[in-house]
Amino acid sequence: MAEISDVFFVDGVRTPFGRAGEKGMYWNTRADDLAVKATIGLMERNAAVPADRIDDVAIAATSQTGDQGLTLGRSVAILAGLPQTVPGLAVERMCAGAMTSVTTMGASIGVGMYDFALAGGVEHMGHHPIGGNADPNPRFVAEKMVDPGALNMGVTAERIFDRFPHLTKERSDRFGMLSQHKVQAAYDAGKIQPDLVSVATKGADGAWGLATEDEGRRPQTTMEDLAALKTPFRPHGRVTAGTSSPLTDGATMSLLAGGGAVKEFGLAPKMRMVSFAFAGVQPEIMGIGPIPSTEKALKKAGLTIDDIGLFELNEAFAIQVISLLDHFGIADDDPRVNQWGGAIALGHPLAASGVRLMIQLAPDVRYGLTAMCVGLGQGGSVIWENPHYDGKKKKK
């Protein structure tokens, strides 16, 4: 008989993230193959878990068409060599796709229906530009349900500046610069590389290469560089390429397990899921979405923001992260926030990013938070606990 279970994040991996477009390293690589590579890498790294014990595979993509279509969870499971007894599904919640894959599979584990699940996401923004295959219902605009600008994420970011004038462009620029610096420091310290699965790539000239690290980093970024950038979303605006996540290709995958399965196979999970929540806000200012979703998740967990010792906040735009920090009274440069940098430097392959946040969180403190804004006016938050916390540091 099924029993309520704890939900554990056992492990997670990702491909290196590449620049979207013809000059990017994945231009000649299929989206589903990126997800296959991440899946194989994860299973190889967790060989103690029998493949036939995986109860389900959930893979998210925002544009579910072409090489990102065909029920990704199932097709990737087959392509990755999992037994044909392993089922799969596709998930779509725009930027929070992989996060929703994790919470959906986690909920299934939590009610005792699953022992193990794979959850992740993929986005090939070079092959599938955001909104490229979408046909928004004309009622949105005709009936004034949603302003046309709400479908342009950069425009919604500019509106956060409008609503909160004390959140200045200089603060945003500084946050963007520090993200680049922190990512390079994390690379120099060998923090990021262990969770990357290398991908064979093929150039325009037919030559093969190997993607081993994130492609879009700009570690030499200065405040002067950022101040000189154009503001593409509004004349004399405040959002620039230097304070936005670049268009990116990549895939992520995680292994989730219930308490019984962890015990059965003697696993050492990295995190336990404490609570999660999603919330809706005005689509026109979607970047504030993680504020109400975080408040909901904290309430469900019986915690306050002061209990959170580490934050992994998706840097869709610097101003979006700063608005959440400001709401909760956290300094822009608080060392608990995005300690290894974030999406401004690494990239944000939409539906893949949620698991990238989780990979980088794995807290040495007791509680950590992963949170992100979501297109069309949503936010998603997951609170995690370190199962090895002893009041000091995580036991190795």
Catalytically annotated residue among 124, 127, 128, 373: 373
Tell me the C-alpha distance between 332 and 244, whole Å. 16
124 is catalytic: no
pLDDT for 144 equals: 86
Task: Specify the pLDDT at position 396.
Answer: 40
Query: Catalytic pick from 124, 127, 128, 348?
Result: 348
**How much is the pLDDT for 47?**
97
User: Can you read off the two tokens belonging to residue 278?
Assistant: 């999603």
What is the bridge-based pairing of β-strands 116-124 and 199-202? Answer: unpaired
Backbone torsions φ then ψ of 329, nearest 5 degrees: 70, 35
What per-residue confidence (pLDDT) applies to 197? Answer: 98
> According to the model, what pLDDT value does residue 393 have?
55
pLDDT in tens, the chain (396 residues): 889 999 999 999 999 999 999 999 999 999 999 999 999 999 999 999 999 999 999 999 999 999 999 999 999 999 999 999 999 999 999 999 999 999 999 999 999 999 999 999 999 999 999 878 788 898 988 898 888 888 788 999 999 999 999 999 999 999 999 999 999 999 999 999 999 999 999 988 889 999 999 998 999 999 999 999 999 999 999 999 999 999 999 999 999 999 999 999 999 999 999 999 999 999 999 999 999 999 999 999 999 999 999 999 999 999 999 999 999 999 999 999 999 999 999 999 999 999 999 999 977 899 999 999 999 999 999 999 999 998 765 444
Output the pLDDT for position 146: 87
Q: What is the pLDDT of residue 190?
A: 96
pLDDT at 205 (0 to 100): 86
Is 95 part of the annotated catalytic residue set?
Answer: yes
pLDDT on residue 30: 97
Q: What angle do helix axes 353-361 and 97-110 make, rounded to 10 degrees? A: 70
Active-site residue identified among 95, 124, 127, 128? 95
Q: Is 111 exposed, middle or buried (0-12, 13-18, 19+ CB in 10 A)?
A: middle
Residue closest to 337 by CA, chosen among 354, 353, 322:
322
Q: Give the integer Cα–Cα distance in Å for 74 and 59.
A: 9
How many CA atoms are closer than 13 Å to the CA of 221, on its beta-carbon side? 26
SS3 annotation, 45-89: HCCCCCHHHEEEEEEECCCCCHHHCCCHHHHHHHHCCCCCCCCEE
Cβ neighbours for 64, distance < 8 A, ≥ 6 positions apart: 72, 90, 92
Q: Tokens for 265, please give them.
A: 């196979």
